[in-house]
Amino acid sequence: MSTTPWVHNFKGLDRLPADIRTQLETKSHIIEVPAGTQIFAPGQTADSLWLLLDGTVKVQQKSETGRDIFLYRVHAGDSCVLTTASMLAFEDHAAEGTAETDIKAVAIPRDLFDSLVAKSPVFREFVFTAYSRRITDLFTLIDDIVFQRMDVRLAARLLELADGANIVRATHAVLATELGTAREVISRTLSEFQRRGWIEQSRGEVRLVGRAGMERLIKTAAAPA
Partner DNA sequence: TCTGTTTGGTGACGAAGTCACCGTCGTGCC
Partner DNA sequence: GGCACGACGGTGACTTCGTCACCAAACAGA
Residue choice 16, 82, 152, 168 for contact with a second copy (CB under 8 A): 82
162 binds DNA (CB under 7 A): no
Contact pick of 67, 75, 149, 216 for a second copy (by CB under 8 A): 67
Taking the C-alpha atoms of residue 200 and residue 205, their distance in angstroms, rounded to an integer, is 9
Is 62 a binding residue for DNA by CB under 7 A? The answer is no
> How far is it, in rounded angstroms, from Cα 47 to Cα 51?
13
Q: Taking the CA of residue 120 as centre, how many other CA atoms within 13 Å lie in the half-sphere pointing to its CB?
A: 24
Q: Sheet with 57-62: list strands edge to edge.
A: 38-40, 95-99, 57-62, 68-74
Are 62 and 68 within 8 A, CB to CB? yes
Q: Can you tell me the distance from the alpha carbon of 19 to that of 80, in angstroms, rounded to the nearest whole number?
A: 24
Q: Could you say which of 7, 117, 159, 185 contacts DNA (CB under 7 A)? A: 185
Judged by CB under 7 A, the residue of 42, 191, 209, 216 near DNA is: 191
Cβ nearer to a second copy, comparing 88 with 209: 88
Residues 110 and 134: their CA atoms lie apart, in Å, by 20
Contact range with DNA by CB under 7 A, out of 51-59, 88-96, 123-131, 189-197:
189-197
**Mask for 109-148, x = binds DNA (CB under 7 A):** --------------------------------------x-
Decide: is 7 part of the binding site for a second copy (CB under 8 A): no
Number of residues that bind a second copy (CB under 8 A): 43
Residues numbered 90-149 forming contacts with a second copy, rule: CB under 8 A: 90-91, 93-95, 114, 117-119, 121, 124-125, 128-129, 131-136, 138-143, 145-147
Nearer to DNA, 86 or 177 (CB): 177
Q: Does 180 bind DNA (CB under 7 A)?
A: yes
Please give the residue ranges that form the binding site for a second copy (CB under 8 A): 61, 63-65, 67, 69, 71, 82, 84-85, 88, 90-91, 93-95, 114, 117-119, 121, 124-125, 128-129, 131-136, 138-143, 145-147, 180, 222, 224
